[in-house]
A and B are shown apart, each in its own frame.
Chain A
């Protein structure tokens, strides 16, 4: 069923009794051309683009929980392409361009809202750093503006401009950045892939990867053995667990990241704002809740729940940046587990096993990458060669010395 204004009227006149499920609930076939492990945003978008752009429709997406139960439904919904390095910027810009056309492309309302993102700076040296990043973006043809203090004040008068230690001197502004309703992204991609013949199989956990003569022949799952010609891993957060089934050596440490939403408030924050004096980011959802988060809990963790110390730290940062936040009540807090890679950048690459493909290491920047990650991963799986904008995101870059270290932190996963 195609969604449109007409379909809404038509359904309304028939009492909304004729809506059909957005995707099927198929039983697994015995063999697929491509199996994707992980029904999160990246796995579903990979399946969607494989079917739509590369004509490969005999595809299964295996998800151990339900669609949207993992990180695609646990992030703070921000999209942007304000990256400095050549290995990152064109990739994230492709992603932002795909976001811009996504709702028409997959015929689903993902509430893409380009409300603009401002990254605040608090010192002269930080301003220079952001100016450099903005210039890097503009050299890649991406919009970036350096705002001074008064320009920021006009946009966001509620910020704490005169903090004794971290005064706000201005910000780097990307107008095309914004937010997207995250679970609608999973649903839209699942529906779009399903319509093109992809089997989205929920509650199907992969327990083993069967290999013969050095290549993958299929996967053992809780629904039995399923054969495949190509296997693709898109299980960020649990990449090591799945990768171990194929004896992969990975530059990944798993960490937990928390996010929060306040009670619904009247419209107050019109943009996405990130704090330069700490690591804090906030936006306001269309329902009115303030959606925000900060850094990792910093220790290795596979638990989808965080520590109170990080909750306290996040609230302190938020109140330092916006004093008025102290009167808002937090409604919910949750957490997701991240693949923290050794340089803070992801991996979309082939592996030492010929027909096994890897998509991992998204740190905590995976949501904004969802469309480009799927597009580039589908390109890699279909053509066996990397997409142009993902050509730096190789598994062997650490060995070769070609890290993509946006923050310049070195091989310390919890600092990226």
Chain B
């Protein structure tokens, strides 16, 4: 139900400890990118139904940014990674 989140640093913790930022998919464009690219980054969202990666901040714990991989229809959580590790893994692909 996404009531309990297993933080890679702190272990399984209740949802109350986290603050949720939103979609983890958008990638910050270069400062010189065209307005249209920035508009898409800031305002346009894929907003898929189903599997979803989202930034959560462990505000009342380790204060690390995490990426929670979950299903937004069933509320099942598949995995939680540190945001830095997530980006490194993505860059390595």
Contacts and interface: CB of A to CB of B under 8 A. Distances in A.
Given A250-B44, A302-B72, A309-B16, A414 B22 contact: yes
Interface residues of B, number: 31
Contact of A298 (B20, B23, B35, B39): B20
A398 B39 contact: yes
Interface string B1-31: 1110000000000111001111100000000
Contacts of B20: 298-299, 414
Contact of A342 (B3, B43, B49): B43
Interface in A232-289: 240-241, 249-254
Given A249-B44, A308-B3, A300 B22 contact: yes
A309 B44 contact: no
A303 interface: yes
Nearest to B52: A300
Contact of B75 (A241, A254, A301, A399): A301
Interface in B50-66: 52, 54, 56
Contact of B44 (A251, A254, A300, A303): A251
A412 interface: yes
A271 to B, nearest CB: 31
Contacts of A254: 47, 49, 72
B72 A301 contact: yes
A307 B45 contact: no
A411 B3 contact: no
A251 B44 CA distance: 4
A102 B45 CA distance: 36
A298 to B, nearest CB: 5
Contact of B72 (A299, A398, A413): A299
A310 B52 CA distance: 20
Interface in A108-142: none
Contacts of B75: 301, 303, 307
Nearest to B50: A302
B44 A307 contact: no
A337 to B, nearest CB: 10
A396 B20 CA distance: 27
B73 interface: yes
A229 to B, nearest CB: 29
Interface residues of A, number: 24
Nearest to A403: B43
A300 B16 contact: no
A309 B3 contact: yes
A94 B75 CA distance: 39
B87 interface: no
B47 A309 contact: no
B40 A307 contact: no
Contacts of A399: 35-36, 39, 43
B78 to A, nearest CB: 14
Contact of B23 (A253, A302, A303, A309): A253
Contacts of B1: 307-308
B74 to A, nearest CB: 7
Given A254-B47, A399-B39, A300 B72 contact: yes
A398 B23 contact: no
Contacts of B54: 299-300
Interface string B67-84: 000101111000000000
Nearest to A412: B22
A302 B51 CA distance: 11
Contacts of A240: 45-49
Given A253-B22, A299-B72, A309 B49 contact: no
A300 B2 CA distance: 11
Contacts of B47: 240, 250, 252-254, 300
Interface of B: 1-3, 14-16, 19-23, 35-36, 39-40, 42-49, 52, 54, 56, 70, 72-75
26 contacts: A240-B45, A240-B47, A240-B49, A241-B49, A252-B47, A253-B23, A254-B49, A298-B20, A299-B54, A299-B72, A300-B22, A300-B23, A300-B52, A301-B72, A301-B73, A302-B72, A302-B73, A303-B72, A307-B3, A309-B15, A342-B42, A398-B39, A411-B43, A412-B21, A413-B45, A414-B22
The 4 closest A-B pairs by CB, nearest first: A240-B47, A398-B43, A251-B43, A298-B20
Given A303-B73, A414-B22, 7 more contacts: A240-B47, A251-B43, A299-B2, A300-B47, A301-B72, A301-B75, A308-B3
